[in-house]
Structure 1
């Protein structure tokens, strides 16, 4: 198995394609990267900026280049002995006209070759979507869209289609009869009678269509439909009378705006289709297909079906077998019906391949050890390393500041429950309803549940979902494990305290979830119970993501550096002891998992978090500053409907964001203001307090943007805020360097998100997918390496003095990756040994050793520097660190070389921090 030494994440799209990536392979190799880690490269919806809206998983995305361009990039990587870890999307595809498999299903229904490919409930209890799939893709109500002429019937070489702006859906072949028979007599007269050869062909088309459903199946059916469509197109293009006939019928079916009755024929034709066009908001409350989270435009694949699994992965497996992909990253593993079974199939098919999964773990939750993978894609490490830079002892002070300023609820657990309930009742109401329908069937098969109503069951089920403590459990055909049992018992106890009036329903649900089956149940009834459990498991993950990460994380703003994917901002930081414990477990169990500090999904850039964490050290100063800013900006707020906009919680969020993202350089002439406005609007919509994606409040949003404009245009305010902002930015630099070293030396594969070798001051997506200036990075790396060869200490002194320009971060990454590449076994397989720090500032240092045979490396990083040095100072030398030192365990070497500065030091059982940090703010000592 090829284990990456360091990965670099590319976000491919039309603006950054294979050729662009090829141009910087040399640069990445020089930086020390061994493997690229690519966003999805398969054909996606036209103009996709991320690639997760796949329309064809067996075709390279033409917007990224040709197959030859792809091969050229692979060849360039292989020439440098670099690998390719590919992000794949097994859970879902785009609900889009370009998705030919889905269009086949919408056209042919149960006769489609791909009828079971997508996760659709064709037997839904609601009559209007029974035997049809909902298509919630319209911007207005169906009746309005129809009578406004927004839904149009069209005809071209592919046949009849239903069109709503850019959405094009096929018409089932049976509906052609209704279309062709309209004014058929007039066509006969225009052709000179029913004996005209072309009219006879039209009649033949009608005959063939009427006999397709009952007489023809499979390939023969497809061939006959193609023949019918081809014949009609031939008549249309060769006979002007038939062309006029078809065009007139199109005009007739499309109705006349202002005449509601004229749309009856189109309405009837639409009612015959295997889909039901609807307003997009319908999908939140009534839906019969599984989506990705709450995104109507992403329809889930039944990858648990072996046919779907094989087809979805055909090109992927081919590229793995050819050695072009040397690793896979599995997107949204928790969305799958049976993640364990999927991963076993994947491992069986790909053999000895590096596999990581996108898995969000709660605090103290363990990744299933029975999964045949190398580990997660790194969010768990991100939360750990971020947490140790938040000063835990100041939690109470920050809670008081937040409560006083924002008048906010500090009960994180209560807020978590409330926001998940909100999602259950609004955004995922239809999904919960579908699950309750299955539970009602289950309860009806038992004497103990026969009297339960669907209403009562749904209410109890909603409580369980809102209280569920982790993303999901992994119960499957093999049963449930003890970890699953613990989570289920925990949530059921909590649910009984919340709704004791539903005790019997909850007790019944608990038995079902624990697979406690009654003896009288048939095999089919037992299977339905298990199916319910596995369906529930598919829903708890999206609920957690939407309720916590995409709602609560924009509401609970005590310290927003903690509001990160996989995080728990209710826990104010993480102790060094817990950080060491985490890393020791990773080394024992998942030594080759990925370690991330920024991804395409993180809520803010890694260096934004590093800055805001510095605020955790100075609560009194922070409170003073925020009060002053609020007073200065009070007049910039707007009063509307007895409320001031923005409210104090959103204002508090804005100030933290401003401190975290304000650039080092000049703001004038940049897009910073627009980026900030786009971000705060996304944030308040995600928060769902004053406005939301489902119910936008333009008054609040416009007033908030006006506030941001006024604040950022106020020179007096900017002058007032800059001293504090610059102070935090300086301390943020040292936090950033520390987390970079920790990421690159802790157990696991360090992953670098594109562009983050410079300061990463981005907001959440799409802001973090902005173009990266690689030309500048190439030039800086070249300069750094050349100067390091000549006089490394002189270079370091320059980098420290000019640290705002980000060259210092690139220098650090280059030096530590060089050390990793020179000591691969040490960092891939070495033991993780926490090191004891003693002396005056022992709490300001995080240190550990990696040991493999006779080789040892020590990573040493500072933190909590606001009370140690002034903003303009650097944390270097014994005059700063005094007697602070690392106590080395017995048997450790005494001679060391710092891989960053190339300087040597002697330890004699102790490493003085001031000596190790004499020239550079972090150290990587190698024996």
Structure 2
């Protein structure tokens, strides 16, 4: 198996395709990256900016470049012995007209060859129905869209289609009879009933009569045959063409005449699908979505035929050696993740595999998954939390309460927001689960009196109380690690809703698979199906309720508000960080270490800055109070309220402290970026405004506030804000260097999100997908490498004197990756040993050793530096006093791998000696 030394994530788009990526291969190699880590590259919806909205997994996305360009990129990587880690999307595809499999289902219904490809109600083994598949993609109510003329019928070589802007769906063949018989008498009178052309048209109509009686391939063959006959006739005869074109015009109606749309309305009522207002998807849903996104329909990858069809190109590219590893997107969305990973392993063999899995604090991956680990969110939250000064939690609670007026605990907020998502976005999905649960409970005398309403409320209680993204029960049974979560959830639900105790007892019995002895095999199957179905909804609820709602409301310290994070935990101890790393080394030594991704709420260096605030509660409180008083005049008074509210104002100040640009050239676009972030933030919070229902008054007040406080002329706020922010930014540099070194040397594979080798001051997507200036990075890298060769200490001195350009971070990455490559075995399989630090500043140093055979590499990373040095100063040399590091087993340090200095220390080493010239150290013995 090829284990990456370091990965570099690229977000492919039409503007950054294979040709452009080819131009940075040398740069990545020189940087020390071993593997390109690619966003999804399969054919996606036109104009996709992320690639997760796949329309055809059997093709490379043509928007990213030609086949030749793709091959040239592959060859360029292989010439440099670089690997390709590919992000794949097994859970869902785009609900889009370019999704030919889905369009075939909507056209041919149950007869489609692809009907089992999608997770729709038709495919449910229990409680399934054949109601039309919902198409909740209209921008307004169906009737209004129809009578406004926005829904139109068209005819071309593909046949009859209904069109709504870019949406184009083929009609079922039976509807051709409805369409063609309209005004048929007029054509008969014009041509004569015995005219050869009219006879041919009657023959087509006669052929349509047999379609309802056909199924499977016979129906599909007949469909193509009849459509072909009609198209030929349309092209050959002007009278038939005029007849069909006139019918199209008639069916499309006249805006202002509602009755003129009756024909089209009737035609649409015959289809295997139902056009609907997009908001309908929240309450009436007969297909499974990705989270709550109507435009992404889930795939039944648990069907072996579907698994092979959707992965055929992936397997081919692995077999050819193009892909050397896989990253599985949203593993928790799958019906049976364990089975999926087993199938995958059987097909790809000894290939590096990680999964996008959000682990809550204390949670581990299922031990029966034969993979290398996660995509790194767990590491991100641990390494981030170690820079949050835990001792100041009470003070930050008080500051936040006083400023915002919010005293709701994060735990209470999570339950509240999960319930909100259930009510507003997943109500239809809960209804479906309740119907299935009712069918099961009706078989038991102790469940016969349960009502649908009671079961729905009980299901909601269970879903909202889950502390983890999901459990993994399947036909093999229940994982013991999951039993604990289930029992905790049920007890919490009973405490909150005691009147539902009987329903909750029954659900617990189901979730724990405590089968009664009298159950038939079929009844057990239905029971298991419900459990496995329910498991698919705890993850989306966690994502939408926590990541996309609660994290935008609970603003105590925004650096902790990250995907997979637990903002109620105000940092962690060095001992907890070491325990986490030791566990990873023992169980998941090749998992990924991330600090920024395409999904993080803010860039790694924004978090590094915000963590500095945790060290300065009194100063922070004074600053925020002063800013608020200065900016009160920029708020908007609406009746008794003042907008933005204090909670959003508090979050905005943190955002400015964390993301304010280092260099003046980037300030021009900063106001727009902050306004975009602010708008997304307040909509995600779902308090005053939402994506579903905008509140222009609140939104405009917030955007006006941002404009006012960031105005560059005669701005008293910026005069006070900027000196404080500059000081925080300096300490943020130091935090970032420590964080970067820890990522590079902890157990696991360090991952770099595109552009983060310099300062990553991005906000939430799409801000973190802005174009990267690779030419600048290539120039910087060349300068750094030349400086290392000429005089490394002089280079370091220059870098420390000019931190704003980010070269200092790039230098550290270069040196640490060089060390990883030189000591490959140490970092891939070496032991992890926490090291004791003694002296006056021992709590300010994180230190550990990685050891293999006769090689040892020691990491030294400082933290909490506001009490060590003044703003603008560096924690070098004598500032550390007598603080020292106890070396393992009396080892002698010989070299600092970052500064390339020879060192002489045995038994222990003074921190002042290790950090003589650079703020972090990587020592070799």
TM-score normalised by the chain length of structure 1: 0.98
Which residue of the partner structure matches residue 865 of structure 2?
865
**Secondary structure in structure 1 of the residue aligned to 2:117:** coil
* CA distance 1:668–1:593, change in 2 (3 Å): closer
Which residue of the partner structure matches residue 516 of structure 1?
514
Whether 1:924 aligns to 2:889 is no
Q: Distance in 2 between matches of 1:647 and 1:88?
A: 41
Which residue of the partner structure matches residue 205 of structure 1?
204
Whether 1:73 aligns to 2:73 is yes
Once the two structures are superposed, residues 807-829 of structure 1 have per-residue CA deviations (whole angstroms, 9 ceiling, x without a partner) of 00111101100110111111000
Which residue of the partner structure matches residue 651 of structure 2?
653
- List aligned pairs for 1:763-774, cutoff 5 A: 763-774=763-774
Contact 1:858–1:924 (8 Å) recurs in 2: yes
Q: Distance in 1 between matches of 2:611 and 2:907?
A: 33
Which residue of the partner structure matches residue 476 of structure 2?
478
Q: 1:350 aligns with which of 348, 357, 361?
A: 348
**Secondary structure in structure 2 of the residue aligned to 1:131:** coil
Contact 2:126–2:526 (8 Å) recurs in 1: no
Once the two structures are superposed, residues 631-664 of structure 1 have per-residue CA deviations (whole angstroms, 9 ceiling, x without a partner) of 0000100012421110000000000000000001
Which residue of the partner structure matches residue 19 of structure 1?
19
Once the two structures are superposed, residues 552-593 of structure 1 have per-residue CA deviations (whole angstroms, 9 ceiling, x without a partner) of 000000000000000000000011101000000000000000
Q: Distance in 2 between matches of 1:880 and 1:446?
A: 73
Which residue of the partner structure matches residue 666 of structure 1?
664
Which residue of the partner structure matches residue 86 of structure 1?
86
- List aligned pairs for 1:120-519, cutoff 5 A: 120-122=120-122, 130-191=130-191, 193-214=192-213, 216-519=214-517
Once the two structures are superposed, residues 463-500 of structure 1 have per-residue CA deviations (whole angstroms, 9 ceiling, x without a partner) of 11111111000000000021111100001111111111
Moved more, 146-155 or 666-675: 666-675
**Secondary structure in structure 2 of the residue aligned to 1:59:** strand
Contact 2:111–2:217 (8 Å) recurs in 1: no
Contact 2:96–2:295 (8 Å) recurs in 1: yes
- List aligned pairs for 1:575-724, cutoff 5 A: 575-666=573-664, 670-713=668-711, 715-724=715-724
* CA distance 1:288–1:44, change in 2 (3 Å): same
Q: Distance in 2 between matches of 1:803 and 1:148?
A: 58
**Secondary structure in structure 2 of the residue aligned to 1:364:** coil
Q: Distance in 1 between matches of 2:749 and 2:226?
A: 57
* CA distance 1:809–1:301, change in 2 (3 Å): same
**Secondary structure in structure 1 of the residue aligned to 2:867:** coil
Whether 1:845 aligns to 2:845 is yes
Contact 2:134–2:287 (8 Å) recurs in 1: yes
* CA distance 1:630–1:614, change in 2 (3 Å): same
Equivalent pairs counted in the alignment come to: 923
Which residue of the partner structure matches residue 881 of structure 1?
880
Q: Distance in 1 between matches of 2:888 and 2:821?
A: 26
Which residue of the partner structure matches residue 817 of structure 2?
817
- List aligned pairs for 1:752-771, cutoff 5 A: 752-771=752-771
Q: Distance in 1 between matches of 2:12 and 2:407?
A: 41
Q: Distance in 2 between matches of 1:330 and 1:582?
A: 23
Aligned-pair distance for 1:190?
Answer: 2.3
**Secondary structure in structure 2 of the residue aligned to 1:738:** helix
Q: Distance in 1 between matches of 2:799 and 2:473?
A: 53
Aligned-pair distance for 1:907?
Answer: 2.0
Q: Distance in 1 between matches of 2:127 and 2:903?
A: 78
Aligned-pair distance for 1:432?
Answer: 1.2
Q: Distance in 2 between matches of 1:526 and 1:748?
A: 41
Q: Distance in 2 between matches of 1:127 and 1:171?
A: 27
**Secondary structure in structure 2 of the residue aligned to 1:696:** coil
Q: Unaligned 5+ residue runs, structure 1?
A: none
Aligned-pair distance for 1:667?
Answer: 5.7
Contact 1:445–1:525 (8 Å) recurs in 2: no
**Secondary structure in structure 2 of the residue aligned to 1:473:** coil
Moved more, 428-437 or 59-68: 428-437
Which residue of the partner structure matches residue 30 of structure 2?
30
Contact 1:43–1:55 (8 Å) recurs in 2: yes
Aligned-pair distance for 1:912?
Answer: 0.8
Which residue of the partner structure matches residue 833 of structure 2?
833
**Secondary structure in structure 2 of the residue aligned to 1:264:** helix
**Secondary structure in structure 2 of the residue aligned to 1:713:** coil
After TM superposition, which residue ranges in structure 1, 4 or more long, deviate above 2 angstroms? 122-131, 216-224, 667-670
Q: Distance in 2 between matches of 1:584 and 1:719?
A: 47
**Secondary structure in structure 1 of the residue aligned to 2:97:** coil
Contact 2:557–2:610 (8 Å) recurs in 1: yes
Contact 1:122–1:132 (8 Å) recurs in 2: no
Aligned-pair distance for 1:774?
Answer: 0.4
Which residue of the partner structure matches residue 110 of structure 1?
110
Q: Distance in 1 between matches of 2:667 and 2:353?
A: 44
Q: Distance in 2 between matches of 1:721 and 1:442?
A: 62
Contact 2:893–2:923 (8 Å) recurs in 1: no
Contact 2:630–2:716 (8 Å) recurs in 1: no
Q: Distance in 2 between matches of 1:501 and 1:385?
A: 43
Which residue of the partner structure matches residue 730 of structure 1?
730
Aligned-pair distance for 1:895?
Answer: 3.0
Q: Distance in 1 between matches of 2:532 and 2:127?
A: 25
Aligned-pair distance for 1:347?
Answer: 0.4
Q: Distance in 2 between matches of 1:669 and 1:899?
A: 36
Contact 2:375–2:594 (8 Å) recurs in 1: yes
Contact 1:124–1:130 (8 Å) recurs in 2: no
Over the aligned positions, Cα root-mean-square deviation in angstroms equals: 1.4
Once the two structures are superposed, residues 11-52 of structure 1 have per-residue CA deviations (whole angstroms, 9 ceiling, x without a partner) of 001010001000110000000000000000000000000000
Which residue of the partner structure matches residue 538 of structure 2?
540
Which residue of the partner structure matches residue 570 of structure 1?
568
* CA distance 1:791–1:668, change in 2 (3 Å): closer
**Secondary structure in structure 2 of the residue aligned to 1:742:** helix
Aligned-pair distance for 1:158?
Answer: 0.6
Moved more, 513-522 or 848-857: 513-522
* CA distance 1:669–1:828, change in 2 (3 Å): closer
Aligned-pair distance for 1:4?
Answer: 0.2
Aligned-pair distance for 1:629?
Answer: 0.3
Q: Distance in 1 between matches of 2:32 and 2:720?
A: 42
**Secondary structure in structure 2 of the residue aligned to 1:755:** coil
Once the two structures are superposed, residues 328-347 of structure 1 have per-residue CA deviations (whole angstroms, 9 ceiling, x without a partner) of 00000000000001000000
TM-score normalised by the chain length of structure 2: 0.99
Q: Distance in 2 between matches of 1:73 and 1:782?
A: 22
Aligned-pair distance for 1:127?
Answer: 13
Q: Distance in 1 between matches of 2:127 and 2:202?
A: 34
Contact 1:124–1:288 (8 Å) recurs in 2: no
Contact 2:116–2:123 (8 Å) recurs in 1: no
Aligned-pair distance for 1:703?
Answer: 1.1
